[in-house]
Amino acid sequence: MARPTTQILTPGKIFRAALERFDERQEFSIPQLAKRLGVSPSSLYHHVKGGRTEIIEGIRSLISQDAHDRGDFPPGDGSWQEQTRRWAINYRYALGLHPMAIPALVGESVDDAPTLEIYETLAQILESAGFRDDRLLDALSLIDLLVLGSAIDAGSPEPPWEPSETDYPSLSRALAAQTGARRQDRAFTLGLDAAIAELDRQLTTHPSPPKS
């Protein structure tokens, strides 16, 4: 019997299958992935010797590569505020497609090239704006926290709270007033506007020395 001309199992297929598990709001284990892919656990380990950690890294790389493939990185011309805004919107969109995977992703340090390139883009934007040293790291982390938190919120139910009007009147009125754009999108825009405004204020009131 002739051997198959193509490899049946690849790391990429394993990573994609694990991401699909998250998208179905399920965790994954090596035996579960092996069953999903129709192979033995030992065959799966042959391709991902690092096990779960390697698979999580692979999922992150897939999401980041999908973001790159949309053509949104780097975010183009304009002021640093405009570029930062586009970076945040684009990356939040990519992550928000897979909100259930994000808690697993943040549990591991980032070392894959596609994701590091995305963050290098933001670091260069902020550094060119005038942020240096720990202020650069703080600015980078602020935008990152906003994007990650909002992307996780993309997977939350609507409404996110179910209060009784009698016991929680203010919260009930807030929910009853919701109209127009999605709550998550409005909150993200509000937070991003505030973050960029505060970073701009810091640059204006406490400018960093020129980069040597």
Tens digits of per-residue pLDDT, 5-42? Answer: 445 889 999 999 999 999 998 888 899 899 999 999 99
Output the pLDDT for position 6: 45
The arithmetic mean of pLDDT across residues 186-208, rounded, is: 93
Residue with tokens 């179905």: 24
Question: What is the value of pTM for the model shown?
Answer: 0.86
User: What dotted CATH number matches 74-205?
Assistant: 1.10.357.10
Each residue's pLDDT tens digit, 48-106: 999 999 999 999 999 999 888 877 677 778 999 999 999 999 999 999 999 999 999 99
Name which of 154, 156, 47, 60 is nearest 107 in CA terms.
60
Q: 3-class DSSP state for residue 11?
A: helix
Judge whether residue 128 has pLDDT over 80.
yes
- Note whether 30 and 51 are within 8 A (CB): yes
Q: How far apart are CA 82 and CA 75, in angstroms?
A: 9
Q: How far apart are CA 43 and CA 122, in angstroms?
A: 39
What angle is formed at CA 72 by the lines to CA 138 and CA 123, rounded to 5 degrees?
20
130 Ramachandran zone, left/alpha/beta (phi>0; psi -120 to 50)? left
